[in-house]
Amino acid sequence: MELKIDYSNCLSFLKEEDILSCAAASAFHLEAVLNRTAAGSEFLGWVTLPHVIEDQVGRIKEAAAKLRTQAEITVVIGIGGSYLGAKAIIHALENEFEYTGRYDRHRVLFAGQNISEDYLSNLSSFLKGKRFNLIVISKSGTTTEPAIAFRILRKQMEEQIGKDSAAKHIIAVTDAKRGALRMLSDREGYDSFIIPDDVGGRFSVFTPVGLLPVACAGININDLIDGAKSITGRTHNITHPATNPALIYSAVRNLLYRKGMSVEMIVNFEPSLHFVSEWWKQLFGESEGKQGKGIFPSSADMTTDLHSLGQYIQDGSRILFETIISIEKSHNDLRVPFDGNDFDKLNYIAGKRISEVNHKAEEGTLMAHTEGGVPNIRIILPQVSEQSLGRLLYFFEISCAVSGYELGVNPFDQPGVETYKKNMFTLLGKPGI
């Protein structure tokens, strides 16, 4: 049940001794992460989370059980790291067709990740006449996108069930002492969880930010945490860098970047992993994209995108490399049926499992892309499960921190995200701008 890394399809572009040398050199950065001595060390609380968050698991599960009992829907309000981790896990582990036309199971929906009038209007219309909860996630409570969504949905809830009842349906995940949401939560008597000061949003998936919504969806958060814990021994290993998958991944991607491959495409062959890719894009994009540096994070869902992006990947500018999340086993057994007429010419694969066909599509794609000048790294998981996702997300977090330092930037700040906000506030006429 281990996570494995395979960089053999990079060896026609890089020398193995250079990869191992870079990984060994990066052990210095990893040691700084573990000892909290590097730039941005005040935001390294996430490193030990898999081992310390267990103290809060009981209360998180208790709160989630209450929410599931008292309403049919929970709306999670947040943006960036305040929703992407939970969305990634829930989307990966739930059957997306289960809720079609039926509402006998608890649903977790999301808001506050955009400022679309149509999105919020449609969500509001859907919630009319239904009992719903709100989990609002924000350190400050004043971030524009979630603040707008919370104002609208809180007002709707209070109108539908009354202000006193509404307070029992709202949980705030916010700062321990400061901010507008903390003040409102204390004043209105909302139940609340704390976002640790030393954990930034994109590294917060193993805090109540990620775990509470995931628990509301009925997913086993103990297994998720156990998965993250199980890979710390390997990803914290500075003595044998060649066996540390995080150091190897960081080394390969940085060496490819130095060769002019400035775009990394995270690829999956399982549609359930779509939002894992979205979470990964924020993690690496916000951590590395600064000072005129950084690998641009992009994504593709295969084989779907082979019919849209495949031509460019195969024959376009040689500026990209791929990281494939490769899943060894599916949960189901579905086979291609035999057809006596064979009008679609598929009888040559009749009786084969769909997963076998998918694996051959993956294998053939990676062969073609490597031959076409696109190196690729495979991150191999045995199955999509709570434990494997816990391993994967924590592996990426450690890799991202090390890779950012190897690039020469502070992976834990994001000065560039404020520019659009200042312009927007000025255009809207916000006082004091």
Which residues are identified as catalytic? 286, 307, 421
User: What gap in Å lies between CA 297 and CA 278, rounded to an integer?
Assistant: 9
User: What gap in Å lies between CA 281 and CA 325, rounded to an integer?
Assistant: 14
Yes or no: say if 223 and 385 are a contact pair by the CB < 8 Å rule.
Answer: yes
User: What gap in Å lies between CA 50 and CA 390, rounded to an integer?
Assistant: 9
Residue 245 corresponds to which tokens in the numbers above? 């998958």
DSSP 291: T
Yes or no: say if 133 and 259 are a contact pair by the CB < 8 Å rule.
Answer: no
Q: Is 114 exposed, middle or buried (0-12, 13-18, 19+ CB in 10 A)?
A: middle
Reported as half-sphere exposure (CB side, CA atoms, 13 A), residue 34 has a value of 14
Sign of CA dihedral 107, 213, 173, 57: positive
DSSP 345: S
42 CA to centre of own chain: 22
User: What gap in Å lies between CA 36 and CA 44, rounded to an integer?
Assistant: 7
Yes or no: say if 311 and 127 are a contact pair by the CB < 8 Å rule.
Answer: no
Sign of CA dihedral 188, 191, 197, 203: negative
Task: Measure the CA dihedral 283/117/121/286, to 10°.
Answer: 0
Strands (DSSP E) contained in 243-357 are 263-268, 296-301, 320-327
User: What gap in Å lies between CA 218 and CA 108, rounded to an integer?
Assistant: 10
Stated length of the chain: 433
Q: Which residue has the tokens 């024959």?
A: 315
Nearest residue to 92 via CA among 395, 399, 390: 390
Sign of CA dihedral 354, 360, 364, 369: positive
